[in-house]
A and B are shown apart, each in its own frame.
Chain A
């Protein structure tokens, strides 16, 4: 979906598309099915292009002014990091040319460097434990680009969870523990190349989890602002042997996997895509902790949703040529709640059914809801069945955008995309994409026999995972 305000007055009274409400970019639908971006209640104004510009100009000025004002009021933590490094207090793990970075814009128009190569996969406990298709689809896409494991990326055992799920859920933990965990894991990322014959800093951390990403960014700000916190955690990191020249290592950028997908989207579409997804109606749910925590660092792109919403997920779906359909509760949380998913499930399932699944089904008639975080997939995927108890028999396939991208590039739905772990009707999406679910399932059962016999296929040589042995 292209934002309508990019093409003022560009109305089309005979909306084209393959499904009900399907839209071509920038075209308005007048068949009563609403318009991508506004929901079924929308009515086009039918202003002339000149009048449309006049009507919206003042909004643009207002938005621009807000952007400038907020930008001035808000500190860029990276500038303070530079100062601390000059003072000899920290070492910045930089995104260098060797990481082949792509520069993107964030909320206030600041630049952010997204490394595309030499990545240290910082895994998500919820994804690995429950939705393993997240990391496997990501690694598979990297392999399809010809990335060399151990050189272009590393997945190893020497890392922990960020522990922020626990913190947000229970309150056990504190800024100091979160900071120590952050610095420990990112120090390991910094030095991890050495055991594979590379320089320090060779691998740059790529954070898989949305909550880890939000938490690490928040903690980084606190670390930069508080000398007392730095002093405390320096003692801990020193005891762990995780200082470099007596200094803390802090990354120049904190990068989420969906940002990597965003900057690679056109290459994924042009070099890897094998399946036409123009008949697929996609809705997007961006994880709260991606863009509501340290929101100034989230990616916004004027060519995606007019820059009015964060670009990730939508940009990937657009690049693949899918129909991106809007729904009115796009801004809502999924209902995960950290402790609620464990111990207050009535809240979680009620919220997710009422505010996300029902809306995606009724308003958008979605073939799939794409998201970019652990808790969101778990919550929206697993809580659909219970809706029947409340006459909410709505179902929408739920998966990560990278899983969808891998499917569009020909990945096996079970062996690679690991959709067997999902509860929502992902097989319906797979079938609509022209892939036989039954065939894939049959092949997977055959593969399970091979696995039982010890013939396991790997995305990379397993020995690479054991750099530190113990």
Chain B
């Protein structure tokens, strides 16, 4: 349990985000956001409640909502489209999630654990999803007929008439240079640091992967230079 000062700091970080004033303009408690919210139908979650807690600066209840409730939001932004005050409860939740990660809250770690595979894919390849992730073993609830033609995944992907899509471990073929640029973005924007706070093991795997790719890219650049010299 956090101290009041820590909870206050968390609230200050939420309110300090430059988007905060865009996303919160007032609240009449009309509840149209909750009435239209998909998550409110299945979880103990109400976008109206989130807005009210922030609007009334209830730091303890805000902290409490960050334990579980904010992770129920489906981020569809239906609430934002409906709010007569032009609030974005979904946008506020996004800010609160970022702050939960920054403060290394256990709720964030718990929630992100099953997301590791996507994270690994995204950070290392620049794609968030790949064909080899969509296999029947991973999604038994999708049923036995997850696709209509059985066969070797590699062959079925080769039958897609677009070269960039004939991949198995990425959604499309991403150039090495592009991936290396992504790593720079992750580093310079603090995303890798966030990841380290959340899951050190995953971070280590990703760091090794990035190092390897960067070496590959350096080698490729050297080869290019040598080729150019030979041409000269």
State whether these chains interact.
yes
Residue contact B119 to A161, C-beta cutoff 8 Å:
no
Residue A155 CB within 8 A of the other chain:
yes
Residue A336 CB within 8 A of the other chain:
yes
Residue contact B78 to A184, C-beta cutoff 8 Å:
no
Question: Total contacts A to B, CB within 8 angstroms?
Answer: 278
Contact with B along A239-263 (1 / 0, CB 8 A): 1101000000000000000000000
Question: If A415-B159, A459-B161 touch, does A172 touch B148 (CB 8 Å cutoff)?
Answer: no
Inter-chain CA distance A384–B146, complex, in Å, is 11
Inter-chain CA distance A171–B98, complex, in Å, is 5
Which residues of B sit under 8 angstroms from A163, Cβ to Cβ? 122, 128
Residue A94 CB within 8 A of the other chain:
no
Q: What is the number of residues of chain B that contact chain A, defined by CB distance less than 8 Å?
A: 84
Residue contact B191 to A382, C-beta cutoff 8 Å:
no
Q: Which residues of B in the span 1-58 have a Cβ within 8 Å of any Cβ on A? A: 18-19, 36, 38-39, 41-43
Residue B185 CB within 8 A of the other chain:
yes
Which residues of A sit under 8 angstroms from B171, Cβ to Cβ? 123-130, 161
Inter-chain CA distance A469–B227, complex, in Å, is 14
Contact with B along A123-144 (1 / 0, CB 8 A): 1111111101001100100000
Inter-chain CA distance A261–B166, complex, in Å, is 25
Residue A458 CB within 8 A of the other chain:
yes
Interface centre among B38, B81, B101, B171 (most CB of A within 10 A): B38
Residue B217 CB within 8 A of the other chain:
yes
Q: Which residues of B in the span 123-140 have a Cβ within 8 Å of any Cβ on A? A: 126-131, 133-134, 139
Question: If A170-B112, A292-B76, A337-B74 touch, does A347 touch B189 (CB 8 Å cutoff)?
Answer: no
Residue contact A130 to B131, C-beta cutoff 8 Å:
yes
Residue contact A236 to B38, C-beta cutoff 8 Å:
no
Q: Which residues of B in the span 173-190 have a Cβ within 8 Å of any Cβ on A? A: 173-179, 181-182, 184-186, 188-190
Which residues of B sit under 8 angstroms from A139, Cβ to Cβ? 162
Which residues of A sit under 8 angstroms from B75, Cβ to Cβ? 168-169, 337-338
Which residues of A sit under 8 angstroms from B185, Cβ to Cβ? 177, 180-181, 184, 236, 240
Residue B198 CB within 8 A of the other chain:
yes
Which residues of A sit under 8 angstroms from B210, Cβ to Cβ? none
Q: Which of chain A's residues has its CB closest to B36's CB?
A: A331
Smallest distance from the beta carbon of A360 to chain B beta carbons, Å?
16
CB-contact partner of B191 in A157, A173, A331, under 8 A: A173
Residue contact B147 to A423, C-beta cutoff 8 Å:
yes
Residue contact A385 to B143, C-beta cutoff 8 Å:
yes
Smallest distance from the beta carbon of A216 to chain B beta carbons, Å?
14
Question: If A171-B94, A176-B189 touch, does A349 touch B126 (CB 8 Å cutoff)?
Answer: no
A-B contact sample (8 more), CB < 8 A, given A125-B172, A129-B171, A160-B126: A161-B128, A166-B115, A171-B108, A177-B189, A351-B41, A384-B143, A420-B147, A470-B217
